[in-house]
């Protein structure tokens, strides 16, 4: 198979799995690595056998690179993506798509004008766990979805992340950091959202880093760190979501979907596998369902591979810019609703991404 050459911009904490998986999918070839700190790009290139470590400008000027994988910090997502599109390359961003709706719109408009693709993490919804949930819904196992709940509860990242400041700056916080996993999964399962409302607060004005190498540094918090929202879907279903960096412990399931015939527990949307559980009327216990799809292990980069296949065939790619923009719009709308004290009717929408086929050979996505 002729490979699609990709370049990875941003060689920080998350990049290792992208280098690994983008070399594993049979359609992809990692041609270059770039970072503002040249030593980081050089280290990743050595570790994963990438031919070229270079500057961002050099990567964007490489005529062989077709897709730029943009793993920079949130405030750089839009500038790097726009530069890649201007250079004639499709781009797959780390989440969120951008800090602002305006930058997200610019990306999508520029890509449309130039005939390019925009994609965005998370692509975890393409894993075995959530694809199994999608098949159960599509097959009518739980009946019509009427509601859902989602909970992401922790006490922030400053105790373990080596460079946690950006989690408390614009583009961070629990909603913009972890919300994309939950919202993308829920939209993939239940379709687009029509309107939202919510409440948000920043509980602690500053955070103390206890991880190395910045232990003892204090972070000024600039974003809400506890966000509770309600979503009304175009289908009529209603979902409650809570994301928080202010909770020491909690026992709520990550996501539950409530259908007219059964309830389904959805696995952690920050991962790719299971378990998936169903409970029907009269059941005394939850029944764990067999996974119907592959990619149960960490497969970050599957969205990049899917884009490469889509570029060849012309079909839509699943981790699309439209999906990511809809999620970005929802996240901002929670904050807007809290500030304004009202429901916010969304101006964006998207198609529910197509389910993956079953029975795929590992390392492939199109049968």
- Mean pLDDT in each 10-residue stretch from start to end of the chain (367 residues)? 95 95 97 97 97 97 98 95 98 97 98 98 98 98 98 96 92 95 98 98 97 96 98 98 97 96 98 97 97 97 98 97 98 97 98 96 89
Point out which residues pair with 4 in neighbouring strands.
28
Q: What is the 8-class DSSP label of residue 320?
A: B
For the chain, the domains span: 4-120, 127-289
Would you tell me which CATH number, out of the four given (3.90.1150.10, 3.30.360.10, 3.90.930.60, 3.60.20.10), belongs to the domain 127-289? 3.30.360.10
Q: What length does the chain have?
A: 367
Q: At what angle do helices 179-190 and 321-340 cross, to 10 degrees?
A: 110
Q: Which residues contact 191 (CB under 8 A, 6 or more apart)?
A: 233, 234, 235, 352
Q: What is the pTM of this model?
A: 0.96
- The residue ranges of DSSP E strands in 143-252, in sequence order, are 145-153, 193-201, 206-208, 218-220, 226-233, 238-244
The predicted structure's pLDDT at residue 13: 86
CB 224 within 8 A of CB 335: yes
How is domain 4-120 classified at the CATH fold level?
Answer: Rossmann fold (3.40.50)
> In which region does residue 10 sit, left (phi positive, over 0), alpha (psi from -120 to 50) or beta (all else)?
left
User: What pairing do the DSSP bridges indicate for beta strands 255-259 and 145-153?
Assistant: antiparallel
Point out which residues pair with 271 in neighbouring strands.
none
The predicted structure's pLDDT at residue 367: 64
The predicted structure's pLDDT at residue 171: 86
């Amino acid at each position: 198979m002729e490979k699609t050459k990709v370049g990875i911009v941003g060689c920080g904490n998350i990049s290792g799995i992208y280098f690994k998986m983008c070399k594993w999918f049979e359609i992809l070839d990692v041609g270059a690595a770039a970072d503002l700190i040249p030593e980081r790009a050089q280290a990743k290139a050595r570790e994963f056998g990438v031919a070229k470590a270079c500057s961002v400008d050099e990567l964007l000027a490489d005529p062989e690179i077709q897709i730029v994988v943009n793993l920079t910090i949130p405030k750089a997502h839009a500038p790097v993506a726009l530069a890649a599109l201007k250079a004639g390359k499709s781009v797959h961003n780390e989440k969120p798509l951008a800090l602002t709706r305006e930058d997200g719109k610019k990306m999508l408009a520029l890509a449309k004008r130039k005939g390019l693709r925009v994609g965005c993490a998370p692509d975890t919804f393409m894993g075995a766990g959530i694809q199994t949930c999608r098949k159960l819904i599509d097959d009518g196992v739980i009946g019509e979805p009427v509601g859902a709940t989602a909970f992401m509860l922790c006490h922030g990242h400053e105790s373990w992340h080596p460079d946690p400041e950006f989690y408390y700056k614009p583009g961070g916080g629990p909603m913009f950091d972890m919300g994309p996993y939950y919202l993308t999964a829920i939209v993939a399962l239940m379709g687009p959202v029509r309107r939202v409302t919510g409440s948000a607060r920043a509980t602690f004005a500053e955070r103390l880093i206890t991880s190395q190498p910045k232990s003892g540094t204090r972070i000024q918090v600039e974003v809400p760190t506890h966000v509770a929202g309600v979503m009304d879907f175009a289908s009529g279903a209603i979902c409650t979501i809570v994301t928080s960096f202010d909770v020491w412990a909690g026992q709520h399931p990550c996501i539950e979907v409530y259908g007219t015939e059964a309830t389904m527990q959805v696995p952690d949307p920050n991962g790719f596998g299971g378990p998936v559980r169903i409970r029907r009327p009269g059941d005394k216990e939850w029944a764990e369902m067999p996974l119907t799809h592959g990619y149960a292990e960490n497969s970050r980069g599957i969205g990049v591979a899917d884009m490469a296949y889509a570029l060849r065939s012309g079909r839509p790619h699943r981790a699309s810019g439209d999906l990511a923009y809809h999620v970005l719009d929802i996240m901002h709308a929670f904050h807007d609703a809290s500030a304004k004290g009202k429901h916010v009717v969304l101006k964006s929408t998207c198609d529910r991404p197509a389910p993956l086929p079953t029975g795929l050979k590992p390392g492939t996505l199109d049968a």
